Amino acid sequence: MADTTNTEAPVVDWSDPASVATALTEAELALDTEEESVEDEEEVETKEANDVSDEDTSDDADADEEEADNIEEEDLEDNDSETEDDDLFEQEETKAELSDDTLLTVNDQEMTIHELKEGFKRQADYTKDKQELATYKEQVKGLEQEAMVYMTKGIDKYQAMLNEASKIDMVKLADTDPRKYSRVRASIDQINDKIAEESKVVQEWHETYQKELSEQTEREVKAAMPIIEEAIPGFNEKKGGEVLAYASKIGMAEDKAKAITDPHFIIALEKAMRYDKAKSAASLRRQPKKQGKTIKAKSTADVAHVESKKTRALREEMSNTSNPERIAAILTELQFQGKK
């Protein structure tokens, strides 16, 4: 990792262009050295990761050989027992075999064995993809933090030089020695240009990192879609947008809502949204029709007054937490509160 210690400004004679140029060169050389150090660290990390991968491959090969030996032993035992169990096998053949079309009841829902197998497969695939994406996300985050420290330190070096130059009384110098003033002014402008250049690099890197995070979120959502579509038939991008809007409506911060990728959390939000819509529709149907009288809509203050303290506390907690399980529990509690 890059060194984050404070940077001390070199002693510079601001009236001497050669001294200023030397200081700038030393600062740039220091940054180049740190950059090479960062690259060396990344190469070491890559080599260690490859070594671990080779060890895993070797372990897998040993495990495969051991498994093959076990299978051979089991086959020998099965062959020895075949002659003894002929009668048993004949009896088993008379029993009805379960096919992929056989219906089973799971959680009060009928489904075939084939559908059940596919559901397990989708869950296993999602779990694997989620683990791989989480590992990659942590790697990207670590590189971004290291790069930001390195580039920010470059700006700090130039800023330290600029702070040193700010101690010069430029107004007085312009009156007493115009030529020296011009040289110092040119040096300060050069440092400002360096700071602007480094700041631009930092901004570009930050934008690249944000783009990578956005693409990462899209990959996580794509991995979760099979599970969501199984639980919510017809789920699409439009429905997903409605779910995110609902999350913001009930008090979740917009950035947290957009970062939701857990399929079970999205399913819980969608169910809560449908429940609220059904409740609102039922409430409208129960309202008596009145003619000749204008009904004044309740103000925001009136609604807030009617809402219970417990409900407000739950909504506030949900807006401050990032734990999907806790948010799902709060949504369930809010639904229960609404039924009262």
Tell whether the torsion through CA atoms of 228, 232, 234 and 236 is positive or negative.
negative
CB 153 within 8 A of CB 4: yes
Q: What are phi and psi of 130, to 5 degrees?
A: -65, -40
Point out the least confidently predicted range of 16-25, 82-91, 126-135, 211-220: 82-91
Amino acid at 144: E
Inform me whether the pLDDT recorded for 235 exceeds 70.
Answer: yes
Tens of pLDDT, residue by residue over 10-56, are 555 655 666 656 666 666 666 666 556 655 665 655 555 555 445 55
Residue 47: predicted pLDDT = 58
Q: What are phi and psi of 111, to 5 degrees?
A: -155, 155
Query: Residue 144's closest CA among 211, 209, 212, 210?
Result: 209
Query: Residue 188's closest CA among 203, 204, 173?
Result: 173
CB 270 within 8 A of CB 243: yes
Torsion over CA of 26, 29, 34 and 40, rounded to 10 degrees? -150
Q: Bridge partners of 109? A: 106
Q: What is the largest CA-CA distance in the chain?
A: 117
Distance CA 12, CA 41 (A): 33
Residues 6+ apart with CB under 8 A from 151: 198, 201, 202, 205
Q: Bridge partners of 106? A: 109
Q: pTM, whole model, 2 decimals?
A: 0.37
Residues 6+ apart with CB under 8 A from 330: 314, 315, 317, 318
E strands present in the chain = 103-106, 109-112
R_g of the chain computed on alpha carbons: 34
Tens of pLDDT, residue by residue over 294-335, are 555 555 555 555 556 777 777 777 777 766 667 767 776 766
